[in-house]
Amino acid sequence: MWRKLFASVPAFRAPKAPCRSFKSSSRRAEKDFFKDLEAQFRAFREKAAAAMPGSDWSPFELTPGLPPERADVVIIGGGVMGWSIAYWLKRKERVRDGLRVLVVEKDPTYSQASTVLSCGGIRQQFSLKENILLSMTSADFLKNINNHLWVVNEDPVDLQFNHSGYLFLASEKSAHIMEENYRTQRSAGAKVALLSPSQLKERFPWINTEGVALASLGLENEGWFDPWSLLNALRRKAVSMGVYQCFGEVTGFRSSSNVAEITDGDFVNVKRIKYVNVQMPNSLEYQPVETAVVVNAAGANSGKIAAMLGIGLGPKESMSGIPFPVEPRKRFVYVVHCPDGPGLDTPFLIDYSGVYLRREGLGGNYLTGMSPEEAEEPDISNLDVDHEFFQEKVWPRLAHRIPAFEQLKVSSSWAGFYDYNTFDQNGIIGLHPLVPNMYFATGFSGHGLQQSPAVGLAVAELILDGGYKTIDLRAFDLKRIFLQEPMLESNIV
């Protein structure tokens, strides 16, 4: 600044510079001086404003997106189950900000989450009364979804629910099971109708009824919807009620152990979780979140989370040697286009061979797939689709059942994980005996989405009220795994 001042005065100007009159150059020099002074003052003001509270500058580098250091409930898993539990916890807290809830989700893009990769069906046609009640309560929730989940200044929730119902087909061997299930469903209040093969043919002429002994059609509260809309609606409402959301991976726990003696004289280690270590994405930095209650709603990865606490890693004969029986199983969904396919009345058809089909949109597109045999489970290390499976297994059975599908074209396909409960393919809800502050809400093996609102309510009642108030789900408790009493369901897709 001083150099410029001196340079503009003719006495000190370099000889090569052109000559100018004394007066004007000094005015320009003054102008430059004041402009510079102004610029300097402005820079100083900006720096001062940044240093004052209210700006986002800080002398220490803080990692963005860290979870809070303390939370009352940490929910591991940000799928529809985790957000449903978070929403109901906030709904049931009686004092505003009475409960600090944190939902930890590993993947912000939800690229491998079971919720968004599901077909989105909801049905009441189960064989266990608890499953039927869970589905019916969830359907009631979806019926009044805008009364529950509407947020001021936002659009109303639109689930794009198609009320086409489910149609199950049974062969000679399983017709009696279907009749018994029908009685259970009717007594629980579900609206289902049984159809004979001739009635089926008259109602849906495009079905080949060879081999079908009985069919059951859901009349009300059954169909399919958009799971992403439900997830976003739950998340938006929960965040508006004050739930903290963190994108990070749970890599470990810090817990205190005590030795307890069980009735047959064995000693087991009972762990109480004190801290949950949440690691930030693409970083080694982690935040230990001090917490009172942890909810494991991690879906396909619940087994991994349970293994971090030593469940399943103890001696084989003791309780801690029994692993948590949920593992990921890959399932394929194929989008096919069939020009002469069934129209608007296509229900979610499930054949007794395991193949399923549902309409997608109005343009002749359908979603189809099948559960593979136990022995031929596909590899779970990635989400690649096996097209041979469609050619060999799905298409022949589909074309046999619906002759119009002999001519079709596969337009797209994807794969997703089931959080498969290897014990009895039904949900696991409750506390683990060896970890008295971890609640499990996982293992739904493909029907988690349709039961999520009701399960969220049930887990919130467990945590806050100590017991079930709306639906009694004591049958889904973990102790059935230790007592080896499976609750088998005869209607799994």
User: Which secondary-structure segment (H or E) carries 70?
Assistant: strand 70-76
We find the least distance from the C-beta atom of residue 372 to another protein, in angstroms, to be 25
Task: Report the C-alpha gap between 292 and 462 in whole angstroms.
Answer: 14
Question: Which of the ranges 89-97, 153-161, 329-337, 440-448 carries the binding residues for another protein, by CB under 8 A?
Answer: 153-161
CA distances to 1, 15, 78, 174, 268 from 20, rounded to whole Å, are 20, 12, 73, 107, 96
Our CB check for another protein shows the closer of 100 and 191 to be 191
* 146 counts as binding another protein under rule CB under 8 A: yes
Per the CB < 8 A criterion, the answer to whether 355 and 167 are in contact is no
Per CB under 8 A, which region of 124-132, 225-233, 239-247, 274-282 contacts another protein?
225-233
Asked if 141 is part of the footprint of another protein (rule: CB under 8 A), the reply reads no
- Binding another protein (rule: CB under 8 A), the pick from 56, 61, 97, 155 is 155
Q: Which residues contact 167 (CB under 8 A, 6 or more apart)?
A: 204, 215, 216, 217, 218, 347, 348, 349, 350
Return the number of the residue (237 or 271) whose C-beta is nearest another protein.
237
Name which position in 58, 111, 147, 263 contacts another protein (CB under 8 A): 147
Asked if residue 232 binds another protein (CB under 8 A), the reply is: yes
* Smallest distance, another protein to C-beta of residue 317, A: 47
Stretch that binds another protein, among 92-100, 149-157, 241-249, 284-292 (CB under 8 A): 149-157
The residue behind tokens 């199950």 is 168
List 127, 162, 185, 442, residue binding another protein (CB under 8 A): 162
Q: Pick from 158, 172, 392, 465: which binds another protein (CB under 8 A)?
A: 158
How many residues bind to another protein according to rule CB under 8 A? Answer: 31
For position 143 contacting another protein by CB under 8 A, the verdict is yes
CA 219 from chain centre, in angstroms, equals: 28
What is the DSSP code string of 353-393?
TSEEEEEETTTTEEEEEEPPPGGGPPP-SS----HHHIIII
Contact between 290 and another protein by CB under 8 A: the answer reads: no
State the Cα–Cα distance between residues 308 and 246, nearest whole angstrom: 20
What is the closest distance, in whole angstroms, from the C-beta atom of residue 108 to another protein in the complex? 14
Output the six-digit token pair for 381: 């290390």
Nearest residue (CB) to another protein, 200 versus 473:
200
Binding string to another protein for residues 164 to 193, with x set by CB under 8 A, is what? xx-------------------------x--
Nearest to 455, CA basis, from 136, 133, 102, 134 = 134
Does 375 interact with another protein (rule: CB under 8 A)? Answer: no
Q: Is residue 58 part of the contact set for another protein (CB under 8 A)?
A: no
> Which residues have C-beta within 8 Å of that of residue 294, sequence separation ≥ 6?
73, 74, 75, 76, 253, 273, 276, 437, 438, 439
The answer to whether 272 contacts another protein (rule: CB under 8 A) is no
- What's the per-residue H, E or C state across 42-68? HHHHHHHHHHCECECCCCCCCCCCCCC
Of 84-92, 226-234, 268-276, 382-390, the segment contacting another protein by CB under 8 A is 226-234
- In terms of Cβ atoms closer than 10 Å to its own Cβ (0-12, 13-18, 19+), residue 155 is exposed
Task: Work out which of 345, 384, 472, 485 binds another protein, going by CB under 8 A.
Answer: 345
Nearest to 341 by CA among 399, 412, 413, 411: 399
**Per rule CB under 8 A, is residue 223 in the interface with another protein?**
yes
Q: Does 384 bind another protein (CB under 8 A)?
A: no
Helix axes 227-240, 448-465, angle to 10 degrees: 20
Q: Are 101 and 75 in contact (CB under 8 A)?
A: yes
Contacting another protein (CB under 8 A), which of 171, 174, 184, 229?
Answer: 229
Name the one range near another protein by CB under 8 A: 78-86, 224-232, 301-309, 475-483.
Answer: 224-232
DSSP annotation of 157 reads P
Q: Does 249 bind another protein (CB under 8 A)?
A: no
Residues 431 to 490 in contact with another protein, rule: CB under 8 A? none
Other CB atoms within 10 A of residue 313 CB: 12
Q: Which residues bind another protein (CB under 8 A)?
A: 116, 143, 146-147, 150, 152-156, 158, 160-165, 191, 203, 219-221, 223, 226, 228-229, 232, 343-345, 362
